[in-house]
Structure 1
Amino acid sequence: MPRSRLMDADAFWALIERSGREAGTKAGRLVWLDGELSRRSAEEIVDFDTWLTAVANRGCTWDMYAAYWFVFGRGSTDGFEYFVHWLMGLGREAFERVAECPDEVIEVPQVLHALKLRRTRLAARSGRIWTEEEYPEFELLAYVTFEPYAKVTGLDVEHLGDAVRARGVRGKFPIVKIDFDGEAWDFDDDAEVVRRLPRVAHYRGIG
């Protein structure tokens, strides 16, 4: 885990989860986090970004990508990155559960809700599948430290990245090439899907 100096994992997750209680929208959460981080020291902001990066890295695995691919029917690496950050936004318990066992993504209530909305709206041909708030992606969470760091230090994001790397953490996102953690496997192999992701396979009617 990262060599953070002032903020540990508990403090990081407390801020992520409190943002959800303090604000009812993604944009509101970003504003709240911006304000909270801007009142802290540069070192604390670096610590927060270090944890943000390290936690997101945990989601950058072949099995997590496969779960995203099969559940949502899409394989965009950008979308996958934003999905991992959305999972982080759901809080520590949900994220840890899915990071430990990506197959459990299909049991997360917010995922099931998003899938229900998609089925309902596709059946009704009602246009947009999800609103911005319903969309299972949270791209801007990845950048929430940029403005606070600039305000507190007067330095740009390059210095923030250098400081995070000095903590021993290098981000796996954005994905330049498909090279996730874990063992690569063939998503077209139904038997392998069933073996690795039995709940997801059942949802998709595979096997």
Structure 2
Amino acid sequence: MEEFWQVVEKARESAADPSDAEDVAERTLALLTALPAEKVALLAQPLWDLRARSYRWSLWHAAYLINGGCSDDGFEYFRGWLLTQGRAVFERAVADPDTLADLPAVRRVAAGDEADLECESMYGVVWDAYEVVTGGQEPPAVTGRYPQLGPGWDFEDADEDRRRLPKLAALFDG
């Protein structure tokens, strides 16, 4: 997992604006495609594990508030965006999605100055890089499944939003 985050951090460092998810994803892909296929293949499982770790009801609800709705695919793309924000932001958001309210990009969305926070291309960047490096070979297989989401709460319940995600609810209330 450490190697995956090192590549993401390097991509963020080289981006003119590290909050630009698409630029970070493109730079991550470029860095990955410069690696040998075997090294790229070794990063497939860590990326999958991060995707599975972030598959949480509370984070999905945060994405719903931030993006004004969030389908299954939208949640995947939101988590792709979250990966582009780096390890520290990712870890904080998985532990406590309400910390996303502190991010400038989230505040820009709340102010109507930015579109939805999504990055589909980052979500599968390792598999895309593997296909490029190998000339189209089947990407490496990973093991594991998404965990059960468990009980959640009604996405339209503003009182519950304020209780569970108070900072985000305050930003996106109304």
User: Closer, same or farther in 2 for the Cα pair 1:199/1:29, shift >3 Å?
Assistant: closer
Give 1:197's match in structure 2, choosing from 161, 165, 173: 165
User: Residues 2-44 of structure 1, C-alpha deviation per residue, up to 9 Å, x if partnerless?
Assistant: xxxxxxx222111112112223365554443334323323332
Identical amino acids, percent of aligned pairs: 29
| Offset at residue 99 of structure 1 (A) | 0.7
What is the deviation of 1:202?
2.5
Which residue is 1:145 aligned to?
A: 126
Cα distance in 2 between the residues matched to 1:14 and 1:155: 25
Query: Which of 85-94 and 189-198 deviates more?
Result: 189-198
Map of 2:90 onto structure 1: 95
Match of 2:64 among 60, 69, 85: 69
Residues 183 and 47 of structure 1: is their aligned pair in 2 closer, same or farther, counting only changes over 3 Å? farther
Distance (Å, rounded) in 2 between the aligned partners of 1:62 and 1:31: 28
SS at match of 1:186: coil
> What TM-score do the two structures reach when normalised by structure 1?
0.69
Unpaired runs of 5+ residues, structure 2, are none
State which of 7, 15, 18 in structure 2 corresponds to 1:15.
7
| TM-score with structure 2 setting the length | 0.80
Number of paired residues? Answer: 171
Q: Which residue in 1 is equivalent to 2:107?
A: 112
Q: Secondary structure at the match of 1:93?
A: helix
Going from structure 1 to structure 2, the CA distance change for 1:10 and 1:152 (only over 3 Å counts) comes to same
Shift in Å, 1:64: 0.7
Aligned equivalents of 1:205, 1:138: Cα separation in 2: 24
Residues 41 and 152, structure 1, Cα contact 8 Å, conserved in 2: yes
Aligned pairs (5 A) from 1:29-40: 29-40=24-35
1:156 aligned to 137, 141, 158, which one? Answer: 137
Cα deviation, residue 187, structure 1: 2.8
Contact 1:62 1:180 in 2 (8 A): no
Aligned-partner Cα distance in 1 for 2:94–2:38: 27
Partner of 1:123: none
Aligned alpha-carbon RMSD (Å): 2.6
Distance 1:71 1:40, change over 3 A: closer
- CA separation in 2, counterparts of 1:30 and 1:189? 34
Partner Cα distance (1:29, 1:71) in 2:
20
Instruction: Tell me if the contact between 2:80 and 2:122 (Cα under 8 Å) persists in the aligned partners.
Output: yes
Partner SS state of residue 43, structure 1: helix
Q: Which ranges in structure 1 are unaligned for 5 or more consecutive residues?
A: 1-8, 121-128, 173-178
- Higher Rg of the two aligned structures: 1
The reply on whether 1:48 has 2:43 as its aligned counterpart is yes
* Structure 1 position 106, deviation (Å): 1.3
1:154-191, Cα deviation, whole Å (9 max, x unpaired): 5633x42x2x22xxx34x4xxxxxx8524322334444
Per-residue CA distance 1:76-115 (angstroms, 9 max, x = gap): 2212211111111011111111110011211122211233
